[in-house]
Every structure is written in structure tokens, then in C-alpha cells.
Amino acid sequence: METITKATEEVKELTGSQAVLEACIAEGVDIIFGYPGGAIMPIYDALYDYKEKLQHILVRHEQGGIHAGQGYARTSGKVGVVFATSGPGATNLVTGLADAMIDSTPLVCITGQVFAHLLGTDAFQETDIINITMPVTKWNYQITDAEEIPTVLAKAFYLARSGRPGPVLIDISKNAQFQLFNYPGYTKCNHIRSYRPKPVIRKQYIDEAVALINAAKKPLVIFGQGVILGKAEKEFKNFIEKSGMPAAWTILGLSALPTDHPQNVGMLGMHGNYGPNVLTNECDVLIAVGMRFDDRVTGRLDKYAKQAKVIHLDIDPSEIDKNVKADIGIWGDCKETLPLLTMALEQKDRTEWLNVFAGYAKEEYEQCIQEEIYPKTEQLTMAEAIRIVNENTQGNAVIVTDVGQHQMVTCRYAKFNQSRSNVTSGGLGTMGFALPAAIGAKFGTPERTVVAVIGDGGIQMTLQELGTIMQTGINVKIMILNNQFLGMVRQWQQLFMDKRYSFVDIQSPNYVTLAQAYGIAGASVKDRENLEGAIKTMLAHDGSYLLEVMVGKENNVFPMVPQGCSVSEIRLK
């Protein structure tokens, strides 16, 4: 590992635990989410003397800690840091690591481990967390000698944030945490041999892509979270505006482009918008920017965009040609590749092509959307609740969603004016994500309103984190859309399994009483005449607030591309 400019040449004696905390400070860490235990106790003891420099948030479960770290990273753009002890503490991080890995979220997780001489003896709370987490981390490493701590942590932070971001886990034995050593100062890492986070961009492929786009009659841009991770929102906007092309997003790409931008044609995928799904199979050039052609976006691959020339821009070379064969693969950071494309593109007016999308949008609105956001039925809908949130936050809130029907409805109907506003579990689909992630999101962007939208299934997986809200006093708005079902599974059972509702009828506690037990104000609403007032009260309340909205039990999310179907076989009803 090569390094640059040392912060100090002074040699002093520190413990391994102190070196861990000095590394965090040098890397600009301000908040740590964690839960103490025996094997990490020396680090927590050292943390007692660092309380003025490092804020520690005591969560109620290690999974809540890592989801909070994800929420913090997603809204702040920084690396989330999480502490946990060995054994069950470490294994409780695995779901969050897998979630962060597939969603490219930068994390550094530090776990305590038993004394080095006990490794391999099945000591109390010993678990081989290195081999357990190898598939779900960008890198992991076990330290048994404190002298390794500064260089290993420098490498950990560098790997977590550079290139395609991701989670890193460092496991530190207890003896290394206690060990005194000559600490020469902290040196940030900016290069690792054989690791290329930002590849050299090949002009040949830029030129070929420009020629294809300029000649295209019906091009379509699809964009993902890579635009956000690359901090390339401005460059992306310039790219589509000069070329005049319609742009559609994956759920993790949502908010990279304002939702009311005239060239933003909506959401792709299983519950995406009608136009961009159908017209994916009619465009002549498909330009993918920072997205990975997930199966929920493509539907049947053998029927996906077969008529189109495909241009794929991605920082991770493993994504190019992985699912969809690219005619031109542009490996690079989109903050650098997009301006090169834009500079050479011809200015185009593609109003006629955009109008085709508008026609599909009108049909979708009349047959599907209008009855969801302005329902005439007695039952409340999830979509009307999101519409009212939109109207009262003017698209400026951070919205954190759990996983299920409410997630798809929120992603379809939420309005965003600025980037890093949509926080959700995309690739892994982790129920229980939203409540702790919303806590982290608020710490990551304390000046913004943060609304957690959660189903009655997901909230019951991590509702103990209400205790974290109580103890920190943080201001998070929690809106539970309660349909008294595990709604997404029930929808599939209704549509594809003859309404054989097998173990999806879930009962809930009295959420308002439960919130009050944690010192959090709350209310429950089931009548339309009270819905808007209840949402306004939630948003205006000084402090955290829990609002339960009782919605229709068997409402479904449409449009929908049934599994195993082409995106052009999308159903409106």
C-alpha cells in the first residue's frame, strides 16, 4: 500500500483502541453508530475520552446500527461507521453488510474479536466473521497486532469510499485493542497497487457512443444510483438537456434528477411507469448510466431491448456485459465520462419522441394513477398519503422507505427537488431497513425534514429503534401505512396463487401507545377527512412523531410487470 503526506511525524505511544479513534478523527468521522460488548470493550473505554470529538449513537440492535450507518452515508455522502462486538454482535451486521454491498453504500464496520491466542478454540462469543462476511464486503481484514491499525484503517476508508463504494469490515482482536505501540501518526491512503477505482477513459468508446446518440431517432437514457454516488447530477442534467433525450430512473437513481424535470419520464421496472417500460422495447439506442440492469428493471432478458444499440456507462467493469450485452461499454467515473459525451453531442430537439412518453403517461394517469392519488373509494390509499406528504413538503424532504407495497408506491409518487433524498433498500429488499436508516439519514442531513414511510410488517422488525429516537431526541417523522397484511406477498398470492393467502395476515400492536411509551407523540387516522390534517400535524410537530394511516387491506400496486414477462407486457390493472 502506498500513501501520501503524513499528518504528523511525532512518535507517541497509544493503545490500539486509541489508534482506532484517531483514525476515525483523521478521516473526518463525526458520528459512530454502535453497540458495546465484551470483545470491543477496550475501544469503548477509549471512546469515553473522545466524547468531545466523536459522537456515538447507542442503537438497540446491531442491525439497527448498520442500517443507521447506511442512512447516514446515503444522505451525507460520507462513510458510515459502525461498531459492534464479536460473535452475535458481528453476525447481526451481516444483513446490513449484504444490503450495503448490493446498493454500493460506503461503510466501515469495526468489530471486536476474542484474544488472538483464543482464535480457533470456540471461545465465548468467537465467530469467524472474516469468512462469514467475505461475500458481502468490498474488503475485510482481521487485526491481531495494534501496529497494523493505522495502515489497515486508512486502506479501509479509502476502499469504502473510492471507485464503486461499498462496505468494509475490520475485525480487531482484544489484545490488539489493549496493546501499546509507538504511534507515528495517521497517513491517509490514496493508492493501492492493482486497485483501479477510476480507470483511464478510452476516447475511442466516447467517440463511438457520440456517433450512435447523434444518429439516434428514439434514444432513451436510463440512470441509476451511479449518478448520485459519482456526484454527477449536474453533469447528467447537462447531458440529457443538450441531447434532448428522455430519461428514466431505477429506484436508487430516484432524486438524481428532479422529478418535475421535463425530460424525466419516470420509473423503470416491475412497478415502474407505463411509458418507459413499454418504450424500452421501442427505442433505437439505450444509454445506461450508473445502473446494473437488475432483473426487476429488465424483466425477461431474452425480450429486453433487443432492437436497441446499448451504451453502458459504469465505474465497475464487472457490470458491463454482465446482464445486458453492451454494444459500447464506457468504463469510468460518470462525472468524467458524461462531460466528454456532452461536449461532442449535437444539440437536439426531441419533442416528438418525448410526446410519445407523454401519451403513455396520460393513459397511465387516466387508467391507474388518478384513482390511486385521488381515490373515490371509502378506503384510504397509500398513494394519496404520499401525495399529501408531497404537497406539504414541496419535494424538499428526505423520504426513507422500508420494503413492500408502500416502497413501490412511495418511489412512484414521491416528488424530489434535490439529490440524496430517496433512501431505500434496493437490491437486497431488507424489511426493517427504514426506521434505523431514517435515524441515520437525519444525522446525515439534520437541516432537512426526514420522513420514514414504513409498512406494518417492516416496522415490527426493528421497532426497538424507537428507543434510539427516545434517547437521542432526534426528529424523525414516521408514517406507517398499515394494510393489516404483508402486502406485497399478499398481492402476488392474489394475482398468481389463486388468493391462497398463506401466512400474510399480520396483526399489529397499538402503535400510538407504543410510541408514547418511548416518549414519542403519535396518532392514528382511518378517515379521509382527517388524513391531510393528521399529516400536517406530523410534519409540523416539534420532535419525532408517529402517524399510523389505515389503508385498504387489499389494494394492489399497479402498473406491474409480472415476473417472467417482458417489460412491454406491463399491466395497468
Burial class, 552, CB count within 10 angstroms (exposed 0-12 / middle 13-18 / buried 19+): middle
Element (H, E) at 311: strand 309-314
> Is 165 within 8 Å of 132 (Cβ atoms)?
no
336 is catalytic: no
174 is catalytic: yes
Q: What is the spatial distance between Cα 573 and Cα 569, in angstroms, rounded to a whole number?
A: 12
Closest CA to 226 of 298, 309, 313: 313
Q: Which of 408, 431, 488, 550 is catalytic?
A: 488
Peptide bond into 559 cis (omega under 30): yes
125 is catalytic: yes
Q: What is the spatial distance between Cα 277 and Cα 280, in angstroms, rounded to a whole number?
A: 5
Q: Which of 41, 115, 125, 363 is catalytic?
A: 125
> Is 182 within 8 Å of 209 (Cβ atoms)?
no
Burial class, 80, CB count within 10 angstroms (exposed 0-12 / middle 13-18 / buried 19+): buried
Closest CA to 339 of 234, 249, 250: 234
370 is catalytic: no
Q: What is the spatial distance between Cα 223 and Cα 252, in angstroms, rounded to a whole number?
A: 9
As given in the structure block, the three cell numbers for residue 275 are 411509458
**Residue recorded with cell 391507474:** 368
How many CA atoms within 13 Å lie on the side-chain side of 501? 13
Q: Which of 18, 27, 33, 62 is catalytic?
A: 62
In the chain, % helix, strand, coil (3-state, to 5) comes to 40, 20, 40
Q: Which of 138, 174, 309, 415 is catalytic?
A: 174
Amino acid at 384: E
Closest CA to 488 of 499, 504, 502, 500: 504
Instruction: Return the SS3 of 469.
Output: helix
Burial class, 506, CB count within 10 angstroms (exposed 0-12 / middle 13-18 / buried 19+): middle
Q: Which of 124, 234, 306, 391 is catalytic?
A: 124
∠ CA 25-27-28, rounded to 5°:
65
> Is 410 within 8 Å of 480 (Cβ atoms)?
no
Q: In this structure, what are the phi and psi dihedrals at residue 87, rounded to the nearest 5 degrees?
A: 60, -120
Q: In this structure, what are the phi and psi dihedrals at residue 547, rounded to the nearest 5 degrees?
A: -120, 120
371 is catalytic: no
Instruction: Return the SS3 of 465.
Output: helix
> Is 331 within 8 Å of 290 (Cβ atoms)?
no
Q: What is the spatial distance between Cα 154 and Cα 188, in angstroms, rounded to a whole number?
A: 5
How far are the Cα atoms of 109, 293, 299, 311, 568 from residue 277, in angstroms, in the given order?
38, 13, 10, 18, 6
Amino acid at 539: L
As given in the structure block, the three cell numbers for residue 375 are 381515490
Closest CA to 373 of 361, 359, 351, 389: 389
Q: What is the spatial distance between Cα 452 and Cα 399, in angstroms, rounded to a whole number?
A: 6
Active-site positions?
A: 62, 124-125, 174, 488
